[in-house]
Amino acid sequence: MRRAAVQIGNGSISTIERLLPWNYRVVETDGSIAVVEGEDRAGWTLDDYVIPRLASGLYFATELDPSDGEAIVPSSNPQEEEAT
């Protein structure tokens, strides 16, 4: 199961739900953040479909770490660190 936090902003939960494929759904919300959850199936993946699709509707989404619910932050590129 994969989860992502979606900033609602001036949007709505119903719009977010319309942007999601059949294998993802909104599972919780606090008014400013919605959490979507689902399983990757075929091409309907969190990275390659869900997050870009939400971005097309101007909803910023970040994957949540399954172990603690914190946002997953991409690690920096070690080659860039060596160059500085």
Q: What are phi and psi of 75, to 5 degrees?
A: -70, 150
* pLDDT exceeds cutoff 90 at 41: yes
Domains of the chain: 2-66 (3.30.70)
Query: What's residue 81's pLDDT?
Result: 45
Mean pLDDT of all residues belonging to the chain: 86
The token pair at 5 is 């936090």
User: Does residue 69 register a pLDDT over 70?
Assistant: no
pLDDT of residue 18: 96
* pLDDT over 90 (residue 66): no
Query: pTM score > 0.85 for this model?
Result: no
Cα separations in angstroms, 33 against 1, 27, 42, 75, 81: 19, 11, 27, 24, 33
